[in-house]
Every structure is written in C-alpha cells, then in structure tokens.
Chains A and B, each alone.
Chain A
C-alpha cells in the first residue's frame, strides 16, 4: 500500500510538471517531452460510417449456414439407422479456417467430422470402441474414399480429444441420429 501512495504521488507530480510544459508545447517544439509512442498509425481505415446498417446483414438464407449457435435451427437430415465401425483420425490446425463440403468453416474446437457418404449436417454419435466414451458430432465435410480407404470418419481436433484418440488412429463405432421432422 505505501508503494501505491508513493506511486500516486510521483504520478501527480509528473502530471503537474508536464502540464506546465505542455501548455507551451502547443506553440513550441515538443522535443523536450517524450510522448509515449503508443498511438501507432492504424493499418486500416475504418469502413465508411455512411453505410446503412441493414446492408451489413446477410440474408436469412445465408444465416442458416453459418456455423455457430444458430446452427440448430437448420433442418437436419436424418441419419438414423446408419451403423458402422471403422477407423477414425482427426484434422488439426492446417485445416482450421478452411471451408468444408457443407460450406461451414472448419474450427479445431467444433464438434464436427468428415465422412464419405452420410448426409451433410446430419448428426452422429461416435463411440471409442476401446474406452466406450462417446460424443455427438455433426457431419460437415467429406473424406476422400480413394485416398483414405481405411478411414471411416475424420473427426475435428476437439471431438477426437474428447474421445481420447488424439494419439493414433483408433477403432470407433458411428451411429446415425434422427434429423428434424
């Protein structure tokens, strides 16, 4: 606490001194005073404020495809009845920010996956067959059948981490969930 009082005192002293100097600085060169170089010239010019706000909103059709909290309002395709086992891998930072087959943008923290055939935006439950732990993910991308013939599903980083299979390719069960009626 004494340190703070001391600090406050010094700052106030500085402020008084600098104020005296600054009033002359308006008309003379302020070279004697070190202005903290905090204010950098902004790299960008702000967008024109004259643009009406309405113009900045995407149409409702666009909104439904944006990955985020609005997602559940899209009509989900049905995947119930689908059941398969196979290997799972995951994708990392290289794909973060890349567009998926569904139009959504891949996010390492999303609960999503790529699959060869399930309808896009369908939901599935993926179970780690070694541990029994399961998560729910949305299919938002395609895995290429030819290049990864041994792969059933490619999970997002976060989904793979939740399932505890970051370390290696692992066997999983994929069960389709019902869509919106």
Chain B
C-alpha cells in the first residue's frame, strides 16, 4: 500500500518534470517575426504596417550572438578575481564623488524607498561605472537579434521585445532611439524593458521616466527596484561566519534562498556568533578568497541584490563596493 503510494507519487512528479521539459522545449523554438507582429497587433493594438516597416530596418548583430554563445558555460571566476574587476580604488573614489554630486536625490530615494544611498550608488557603479558605460547598441536591434536568432533565450527576449515596444509607446519614445547593452539592458542601472515598465520612476517629476540621462530618475528607479523586491530597511545584508566542516555540504546544498532561521542553521552546524539575529532568515554563502574558502550568512537583503543579477559574486561585489564607498564618504564628511 505504502509502496504503491510512493510509486504513483514518483510518477506524478516525473510527469510534471516532463511537462516542464516539453514546455521549455517548445518555448525554445523561435517564432517567425510575422507571428510576433500579428501578436502585437491583436493583443496590444499595434499598427501592422508600422511594425513591419520598423522591423524591416532592424539590424541583426552577429557580435551579439557570439557573446550569447560565450556566456552560457561554467561556474565563472573565483570570487577574489571577480572582486578585483569591480572593486577598484578608482570605482570607490568615483562612487564617493557620485554621492556628493547627487546627494539630494540619493537621500530622498533612501527616505522614500528605504534603500541605503551606498547600495544604489554601488549598483550604478558596477553596472555602468556611474553612467559612463550604458551601452550604445540600439535596444530594438539587440532584442530583435536575440529574440529571432538565438533559440535558447528566444522566448525571454521576445517577451522583452514586447515590453520594449509597449514602453516606447507609453513613454512616447521613437523605438529606434533608445540604446543599451548587447542584451538590451538600458540606462544607468541597466534595466531590461520589463523592469523599466515595473520599477522605473519619474523621480524628479518632469513627466518622463528617463533612466539614460536623468540621474535623479535613475537613482529613484534603482531604489524602487530594490524596494519592489523586498529590501528590508536597516537589516543586515551579509555577515561573516564560521561553520562546522562536516555541515558545509548539507548547508550549501539547500535552495539558494534565505529559508531557514539562524537558530535552525546553527542546529545544523552553522557557527554564527551573534545570537541577537537568531530569528533572522539566512543562508550559507561560500566564496573563494586569496586566503582560501571563507563563509558568510546571506540575509534576505543579500537575496534581494541577487534579484538584480543572479550571482553570488555580483551581490557580494555590490555590497562590498557599497561599504567601501560609505567608509570613505562618511569619513570625508566629518
């Protein structure tokens, strides 16, 4: 009796996995541009002729497809090498300069959304070196290239292309003009079109959401993005810890999400030394330093940073750059 139950359970789970697999497979297929246009006409009331003419002039970039093929494999660089790319003396001092220049917008963003100024600055610093490197490819071309020529990510980028057309219509922008990265990420904070529509804000009240040239809008938008993903004001991001060697594997094999309280993690072998945080939710993080592997507890706010870019290295770089900038900024403002 029990055996049958288990068997049919496995069967159901397996059926579900297959459904996922086959839907992923179907989704990976590229739909013809004509179908996409028809879809935009029927679902969003776009003009078929106008869209056809718009796409007739888009350019397919082979260079983008090359980058897409390159970025798919491997676990990536060890943390200490990743770190030295993003956290440099130069990026720290420019971050403090950015803070001074945009202090009013940053403190208003902090007050409105509860996200510390240094975190907003660090995101813009890591993404585009404070706006110096926002990308100069036409977003329309970049999204079209991937959506119709790169099967593995076609579905996602088709949907971003749809969002892009909607946002240019809403914002009254010529869809040929906005520029961005090879993947269509736009402006100071490198927002994808769907993130733009959800989280970009007109933070200076001039009637436009401009995340390319308007630093106030870009600052408010990054803060609102973190707010939207559940940033917890005043809570820790990540803290160093020791861990029992025999507990490391099981603690690291848990889902990448702060699901367990520190009290529970300690029962499993975490040697975290601050008992005041026992009720906080956290997860064990391991990173390669020059001295060897070191361990941290990532809290909800660390997870929120990974919603900007799904990488532990990325989130740690943003956090540590933020801390270094704050360290210098607060010392100088005395």
Interface residues of A (CB under 8 A from B): 4-5, 8, 11-12, 15-16, 18-19, 22-23, 25-30, 33, 35, 39-40, 42-47, 55-58, 60, 62-63, 65-72, 92-93, 96-99, 103, 105-111, 123, 125, 136, 138, 157, 177-178
Contact A57 B18 (CB under 8 A): no
A47 and B283 CA atoms in complex are apart in Å by 12
Most buried by A among B119, B235, B259, B328: B235
Residues of B79-121 at the interface with A, using a CB-CB cut-off of 8 Å, are 116, 118-119
Chain A contacts for B119, CB-based, 8 A: 69
Most buried by A among B234, B259, B279: B234
Chain A contacts for B259, CB-based, 8 A: 44, 46-47
26 A/B residue pairs, CB under 8 Å, sorted by A: A8-B151, A19-B18, A22-B14, A22-B15, A28-B11, A35-B10, A43-B251, A44-B250, A44-B254, A44-B260, A46-B259, A56-B279, A58-B276, A67-B239, A68-B237, A68-B238, A68-B239, A68-B323, A72-B330, A92-B291, A93-B292, A97-B273, A97-B296, A107-B239, A136-B327, A178-B334
Most buried by B among A18, A60, A125, A138: A18
Pick from B28, B232, B320, B328: contact of A109, CB under 8 Å: B320
Contact B276 A62 (CB under 8 A): yes
Contact B251 A26 (CB under 8 A): no
Contact B116 A105 (CB under 8 A): no
Is B280 positioned at the interface, with any CB of A under 8 Å from its CB? yes
Contact A69 B331 (CB under 8 A): no
Residues of B294-319 at the interface with A, using a CB-CB cut-off of 8 Å, are 294-296, 319
Residues of B221-265 at the interface with A, using a CB-CB cut-off of 8 Å, are 232, 234-243, 250-251, 253-255, 259-261, 264-265
Is the contact region of chain A dominated by helix, strand, or loop, or is it mixed?
loop
Smallest beta-carbon distance B91→chain A, Å? 14
Known: A58-B280, A93-B294, A105-B273. 18 other contacts (CB 8 A): A11-B21, A16-B22, A25-B10, A29-B7, A42-B255, A55-B279, A56-B279, A56-B281, A63-B234, A65-B276, A68-B237, A68-B239, A69-B118, A93-B289, A93-B292, A96-B294, A98-B242, A110-B323
Chain A contacts for B235, CB-based, 8 A: 57, 63, 66
Residues of B15-40 at the interface with A, using a CB-CB cut-off of 8 Å, are 15, 17-19, 21-22, 25-26, 28-29
How many residues in B have their beta carbons less than 8 Å from beta carbons of A?
70
Smallest beta-carbon distance A100→chain B, Å? 9
Chain A contacts for B292, CB-based, 8 A: 93
**0/1 string, B141-165, CB within 8 A of A gives 1:** 0000000000110000000000000
Chain A contacts for B232, CB-based, 8 A: 57
Chain B contacts for A107, CB-based, 8 A: 239-240, 296
A71 and B329 CA atoms in complex are apart in Å by 13
A108 and B238 CA atoms in complex are apart in Å by 13
Contact B279 A97 (CB under 8 A): no
Most buried by A among B12, B17, B29, B327: B327
Contact B11 A25 (CB under 8 A): yes
Smallest beta-carbon distance A138→chain B, Å? 8
Contact B22 A99 (CB under 8 A): no
A11 and B23 CA atoms in complex are apart in Å by 11
Contact B291 A157 (CB under 8 A): yes
A23 and B18 CA atoms in complex are apart in Å by 10
Smallest beta-carbon distance A178→chain B, Å? 5
A27 and B253 CA atoms in complex are apart in Å by 32
Pick from B255, B265, B322: contact of A69, CB under 8 Å: B322
Smallest beta-carbon distance B191→chain A, Å? 23
Contact B8 A26 (CB under 8 A): yes
Pick from B22, B234, B274, B291: contact of A70, CB under 8 Å: B234
Chain A contacts for B210, CB-based, 8 A: none
Is B67 positioned at the interface, with any CB of A under 8 Å from its CB? no
Chain A contacts for B18, CB-based, 8 A: 15, 18-19, 22
A18 and B18 CA atoms in complex are apart in Å by 7
Task: List 4 tightest A-B contacts by C-beta distance, closest first.
Answer: A43-B250, A26-B11, A107-B240, A15-B22
Contact A46 B260 (CB under 8 A): yes
Pick from B17, B295, B322: contact of A97, CB under 8 Å: B295
Contact B240 A108 (CB under 8 A): yes
Chain B contacts for A28, CB-based, 8 A: 7, 11
A19 and B331 CA atoms in complex are apart in Å by 63
**0/1 string, B31-73, CB within 8 A of A gives 1:** 0000000000000000000000000000000000000000000
Contact B331 A27 (CB under 8 A): no
Pick from A8, A33, A70, A106: contact of B14, CB under 8 Å: A33
Is B177 positioned at the interface, with any CB of A under 8 Å from its CB? no
Chain B contacts for A58, CB-based, 8 A: 276-277, 279-280
